[in-house]
């Protein structure tokens, strides 16, 4: 497959995923897109960012994929919902990009994280990239909503050292409310599978006043997380408005336009709920 790089296209590296990126893969023919999804020979990426300290242990190189099946009301990066908003990158190019930083990542006790969007929308690309990065002896992590966890085999899951699961909700109705109508049966099933395989997990929970700050819901997520026996830590992420301009520029209906960030006390309360379930939360 030949991928032509348009001269006007931005660099694969970005200062942060909050950079707005659209239409960058639209000139890839449909047949090549289908082939890429089937084989993983090519992926679509918003960007690579370096030096992240918040996407897994240590300092991370992060590749941000495009495409997501959820429509979370609070999503910070709705430009990553669409596959062809991303830059087409061959698997070899992506591997080379990680190779550049491999020594440093190992030396600093960091690693490589695949995030999104939802990385498992491009499961073949993700699986093959993780396989290659693991061969470099670099720590690997995925940030996922878990909905397509069944797209990875058990062996493929073993090439991922850490699964950072973005838990939207525990009850089906709340999950549908937050994500724009998608259920979470497959997410919970994926978590149970990771537990059976004894794969290390972190849980993330975005605290959005008026949407996700429901004590009973957080208790249910916390108790479920504890029951898995593999959750090493929980991160409560306070909602913020940094992604707002993307919703406006994409002309999307931003339901949390007037929502403000939770207070310190509200964050502390959420953390306490997860801690009282026996989890290491912060």
Report the interface residues with ligand SF4, using CB under 6 A: 68, 70-72, 75, 77, 80, 116-118, 145, 166
* Alpha carbon distance 102, 222 (integer Å): 35
Backbone angles phi, psi at 150, to 5 degrees: -75, 0
Nearer to ligand SF4, 77 or 212 (CB): 77
| Joined tokens for residue 117 | 């969007």
Q: How distant, in Å, are the alpha carbons of 206, 226, 237, 249, 267 from that of 261?
A: 11, 27, 10, 21, 10
Q: Which of 60, 71, 87 is nearest to 143 (CA)?
A: 60
Closest approach, Cβ 75 to ligand SF4, in A, equals 3
Nearer to ligand SF4, 160 or 167 (CB): 167
Burial class (CB in 10 A: 0-12, 13-18, 19+), 263: exposed
**Close Cβ partners of 246 (under 8 Å, ≥ 6 residues apart):** 18, 20, 76, 77, 78, 79
Stretch (H or E) spanning 141: strand 139-144
Nearer to ligand SF4, 132 or 182 (CB): 182
Closest approach, Cβ 72 to ligand SF4, in A, equals 3
Nearer to ligand SF4, 70 or 202 (CB): 70
Closest approach, Cβ 37 to ligand SF4, in A, equals 17
Q: 3-state class of 257 per DSSP?
A: coil
Q: 3-state class of 204 per DSSP?
A: strand
Nearer to ligand SF4, 117 or 149 (CB): 117
Helix (H) and strand (E) counts in the chain? 9, 8
Nearer to ligand SF4, 182 or 277 (CB): 182
| Joined tokens for residue 76 | 């910070």
Nearer to ligand SF4, 105 or 184 (CB): 184
């Amino acid at each position: 497959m030949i991928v032509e790089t348009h001269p006007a296209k931005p660099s694969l590296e970005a200062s942060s995923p909050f950079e707005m990126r659209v239409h960058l893969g639209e000139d890839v023919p449909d047949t090549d897109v289908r082939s890429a999804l089937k084989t993983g020979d090519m992926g679509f990426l918003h960007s690579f960012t370096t030096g992240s300290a918040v996407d897994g242990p240590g300092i991370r190189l992060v590749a941000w994929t495009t495409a997501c099946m959820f429509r979370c009301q609070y999503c910070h990066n709705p430009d990553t919902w669409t596959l062809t908003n991303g830059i087409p990158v061959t698997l070899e190019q992506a591997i080379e990009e990680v190779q550049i930083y491999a020594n440093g990542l190992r030396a600093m006790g960091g690693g490589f994280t695949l995030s999104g969007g939802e990385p498992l929308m491009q499961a073949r690309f993700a699986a093959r990239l993780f396989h290659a990065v693991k061969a470099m002896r670099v720590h690997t992590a995925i940030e996922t909503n878990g909905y397509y966890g069944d797209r990875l085999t058990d062996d493929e899951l073993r090439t991922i050292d850490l699964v950072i699961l973005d838990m939207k909700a525990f009850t089906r109705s709340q999950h549908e409310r937050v994500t724009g109508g998608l259920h979470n049966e497959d997410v919970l099933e994926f978590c149970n599978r990771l537990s059976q395989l004894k794969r290390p997990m972190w849980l993330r929970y975005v605290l959005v006043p008026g949407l996700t700050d429901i004590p009973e819901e957080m208790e249910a997520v916390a108790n479920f997380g504890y029951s898995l026996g593999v959750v090493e830590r929980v991160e409560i992420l306070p909602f913020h408005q940094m992604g707002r301009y993307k919703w406006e520029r994409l002309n999307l209906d931003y339901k949390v336009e007037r929502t403000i960030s939770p207070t310190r006390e509200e964050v502390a309360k959420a953390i306490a709920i997860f801690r009282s379930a026996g989890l290491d939360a912060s």
